[in-house]
């Protein structure tokens, strides 16, 4: 359960002397107690990253505007790009899915039992298959069929839902359609995709059958931010498990589904807890 008073500040700036001190000293001087802190200095790019969770050390309500007004001058001196969010904030999420429902089911279960602190505003699909699941959870379901000819219109419908729901995050939980470059730009930094890690060796249809024919020994999954480069966006989390000659194609696929669920859930968790920094074509991720 999140403490309603706990806040999370994330910041990045050019690497220079005092980058940790400017934030931690400000928190100390203003009677804020640090409950968690992570930092990373990228010596290759000369960029510094920090995430701090803190709460007031004394009784009383946290004054967000006062904090912003007071910290901004110090942050400006270090050219900090920073954000402040309450730990208790539940991000608004739209989930996209096609026919395979294993990742959707997993996310809904985690949300239902309270382990994933999000507010699922809608489920969007290009097929009707998962509508019953959405109705059971009392979540609006939008069925937007798509063809090559109707792709622009279909994506406009999707974008309207994302905007209407004021979504903080879009999760592609095995949504088996390639987003247009325009849609990728609109969702930059706020859309997470999941796919098997058999790429690039086994592309296209029936990848696990292809992998079986080659005697694959590792099965995995990758969760990443959506980008204009198909399945090559900044990586957030990856999972992998060993397999052997005894695994038939259906066994490989079952193992892959399990890894996809766990890997996607970890990526979503890291995102909603503000543990991820986009850093060019890669990410900095401060896991627990």
Residue range 7-86, CATH number: 3.30.70.260
Say whether 149 sits in a helix, a strand or coil.
coil
Please calculate the CA angle 4-7-9 and round it to the nearest 5 degrees.
165
Residue of 64, 47, 50 lying closest to 4 (CA atoms): 64
The two tokens of residue 203 are 């592309």
Res 207: pLDDT: 82
Question: Is pLDDT above 80 for 210?
Answer: yes
pLDDT tier for residue 3 given thresholds of 50, 70 and 90 = low
Fold observed for domain 92-285 = Rossmann fold (3.40.50)
Res 199: pLDDT: 55
Catalytic residue among 231, 244, 251, 258: 231
Q: Chain centroid to CA 105: how far? A: 17
CB 219 within 8 A of CB 240: yes
Distance CA 95, CA 107 (A): 9
Say whether 179 sits in a helix, a strand or coil.
coil
Res 185: pLDDT: 95
**Strand extents, DSSP E, the chain:** 7-14, 32-42, 47-56, 81-86, 92-97, 119-125, 141-143, 169-172, 191-196, 218-225, 235-242, 276-279, 282-285
To which residue do tokens 């400000």 refer? Answer: 26
CB 190 within 8 A of CB 169: yes
Enumerate the CATH 3.30.70.260 domain ranges in the chain, comma separated: 7-86
Question: Is pLDDT above 70 for 92?
Answer: yes
Q: Tell me how far apart the 2 most distant CA atoms of the chain are, in Å.
A: 64
Question: Is pLDDT above 70 for 200?
Answer: no
Say whether 77 sits in a helix, a strand or coil.
helix
The two tokens of residue 35 are 């409950």
The two tokens of residue 100 are 């395979």
Residues of the chain above pLDDT 90, percent: 85
Distance CA 5, CA 182 (A): 39
Question: Is pLDDT above 80 for 110?
Answer: yes
pLDDT tier for residue 125 given thresholds of 50, 70 and 90 = very high
Q: In the annotation, is 29 catalytic? A: no
Average pLDDT of the chain is: 94
Cis peptide bond upstream of 121, omega within 30: no
| Report for 167-181, 186-200, 219-233: range of highest mean pLDDT | 167-181
The two tokens of residue 248 are 């038939």
Q: At a CB cut-off of 8 Å and minimum separation 6, what does 140 contact?
A: 121, 122, 123, 134
Question: Is pLDDT above 80 for 205?
Answer: no
15-19, 204-208, 262-266: segment of lowest average pLDDT:
204-208
Sign of CA dihedral 122, 139, 93, 287: negative
Enumerate the CATH 3.40.50.170 domain ranges in the chain, comma separated: 92-285
End-to-end CA distance of the chain: 15
| Cβ atoms < 10 Å from Cβ of 2 | 13
Question: Is pLDDT above 60 for 2?
Answer: no
| Cβ atoms < 10 Å from Cβ of 43 | 8
Instruction: Give mean pLDDT, residues 143-153.
Output: 95
Res 4: pLDDT: 76
Residues of the chain above pLDDT 70, percent: 98
Instruction: Give mean pLDDT, residues 76-92.
Output: 97
Res 1: pLDDT: 42
CB 198 within 8 A of CB 218: no
Residue of 64, 85, 67 lying closest to 10 (CA atoms): 85
- Render pLDDT for 22-71 as a digit per residue (tens, 0 to 9): 999 999 999 999 999 999 999 999 999 999 999 998 877 899 999 999 99
């Amino acid at each position: 359960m999140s403490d309603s008073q706990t806040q999370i500040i994330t910041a990045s700036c050019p690497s220079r002397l005092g980058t940790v001190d400017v934030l931690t000293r400000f928190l100390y001087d203003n009677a804020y107690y640090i409950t968690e802190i992570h930092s990373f200095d990228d010596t290759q790019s000369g960029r510094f990253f920090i995430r701090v969770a803190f709460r007031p050390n004394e009784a009383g309500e946290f004054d967000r505007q006062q904090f912003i007004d007071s910290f901004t001058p110090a942050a400006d001196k270090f050219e900090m790009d920073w954000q402040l969010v309450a730990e208790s904030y539940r991000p608004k999420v739209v989930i996209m899915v096609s026919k395979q429902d294993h990742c959707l089911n997993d996310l809904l279960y985690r949300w239902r039992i309270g382990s994933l602190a999000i507010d699922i505003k809608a489920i969007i699909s290009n097929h009707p298959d998962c509508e019953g699941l959405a109705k059971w959870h009392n979540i609006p379901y939008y069925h937007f069929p798509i063809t090559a000819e109707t792709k622009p219109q279909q994506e406009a419908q999707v974008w309207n839902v994302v905007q209407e729901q004021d979504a903080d995050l879009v999760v592609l939980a095995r949504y088996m359609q390639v987003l247009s470059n325009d849609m990728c730009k609109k969702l930059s930094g706020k859309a997470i995709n999941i796919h098997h890690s058999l790429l690039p060796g086994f592309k296209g249809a029936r990848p696990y059958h292809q992998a079986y024919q080659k005697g694959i020994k590792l099965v995995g999954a990758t969760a990443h931010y959506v980008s204009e480069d198909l399945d090559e966006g900044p990586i957030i989390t990856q999972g992998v498990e060993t397999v052997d000659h005894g695994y038939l194609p259906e066994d490989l696929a079952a193992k892959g589904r399990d890894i996809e669920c766990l890997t996607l859930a970890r990526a979503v968790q890291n995102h909603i807890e503000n543990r991820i920094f986009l850093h060019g074509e890669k990410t900095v991720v401060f896991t627990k």
